[in-house]
Amino acid sequence: MHDQRNQPVFTDGYWWSNDGLRLHYRDYPGRKDRPPILCLPGLTRNVRDFEAVAERLSGEWRVIVAEMRGRGESAYAKDPMSYVPLTYLQDVEALLNTLELERVVLFGTSLGGILSMLLTSADGDRVAGILLNDVGPELEIDGLARIRTYVGKAATYPTWMHAARATAEANADVYPKYEIEDWLRMAKQLYRLNPNGRITLDYDMRIAEPFNVPGNEAGPDMWRAYDTLKGRPGLIVRGANSDILGAATAERMANRFEGVELVTVPDTGHAPTLDEPEAVAGIDRLLARI
């Protein structure tokens, strides 16, 4: 991808998982005297989710956006039961080792935030700071039930406008102030053009198989994993209307130890896009502490 001055904004890179899958990441250039920011998307999402964040921060910060197995340009797994957090964690560790990254700042949305907590728990020396976007050690049952109603349900559309209207219908409660151009932008993050010229969701529908088994959406004891954030700069971003990260859980996370800030994004559900003014200001405060 290039910007208006025809300067490359990012390069595409690939790495191999332990079980032989070719996985994809985007690499936005930045200063070498700072730890890179590693962005980890949510369950059904891909590298395009972090475009606004990465484009804003690149130059000052190197930003790497990982695409989990079964999403976007990353290979689909032969065994759908490998679509679980502990396998994703091994994939992320393989990326860190491939790129020889000794320290990173983690930005994790939803599932990506769970992976961020697990990575801090497993390899804390590597983590210079952490942003958890609308996720915590406890997930709300109602929100998980809502996600289970749509994940893994294939949908195709003849035009981008059809996809945008379907996206609006499904997410009106999450982003109540969105206009059609916002829905069109979101549809282009969620969907891709398939070889038959149809607009289709950009992930392997089989990621739903393990997710639909309760307990498979996170690690076994996530409060213990969360507690390994202690001593690092941290930011929790919560959508005011979130049905995944409850307000009480978010407050408990912020008050558990010093150095963690809670920012709430108004008129937003699960999950904030991180280009809202409240999130932007919070990210800048977080990075100033790294």
What is the per-residue pLDDT across 146-198, written as a single tens digit (0 to 9) for each? 999 999 999 999 999 999 999 999 999 999 999 999 999 999 999 999 999 99
Contacts of 234 (CB under 8 A, 6+ apart): 129, 130, 131, 132, 259, 260, 261, 286
**C-alpha–C-alpha distance, residues 44 and 18, integer Å:** 22
Alpha-carbon gap, residue 90 to 26, rounded angstroms: 19
* Domain locations along the chain: 11-140+221-288
In whole angstroms, give the CA distance from residue 228 to residue 3.
39
234-239 vs 260-265, strand pairing mode: parallel
Model pLDDT, residue 212:
82
Cα(36)–Cα(60) distance, rounded to whole angstroms?
10
Pick the closest to residue 69 from 18, 26, 24 (CA basis): 24
| Residue 218 pLDDT level (bands cut at 50, 70, 90) | low
The alpha carbon dihedral of 104, 84, 201, 165 has a sign of: negative
Give the start-end residues of each E strand in 83-193. 104-109, 127-133, 156-157, 191-193
At 79, is the pLDDT very low, low, confident or very high (cuts 50, 70, 90)? very high
Q: How confident is the model at residue 46 (pLDDT cuts 50, 70, 90)?
A: very high
24 neighbors 13 (Cβ within 8 angstroms): yes
The band of 82, judged by pLDDT with boundaries at 50, 70 and 90, is very high
Q: Please state the rounded mean pLDDT for residues 11-24.
A: 98
pLDDT at position 216 is: 73
Per DSSP (E only), the strands in 223-265 are 234-239, 260-265
Pairing of the two strands 104-109 and 127-133: parallel
Helix or strand holding residue 39 (H, E): strand 37-40
Pairing of strands 37-40, 11-16: unpaired
What's this model's pTM, rounded to 2 decimal places?
0.96
Cα(149)–Cα(208) distance, integer angstroms:
10
The CATH class given to the 11-140+221-288 domain equals alpha beta
Supply the Cα-derived Rg of the chain in whole angstroms.
18
Amino acid identity of residue 274, one-letter, is: L
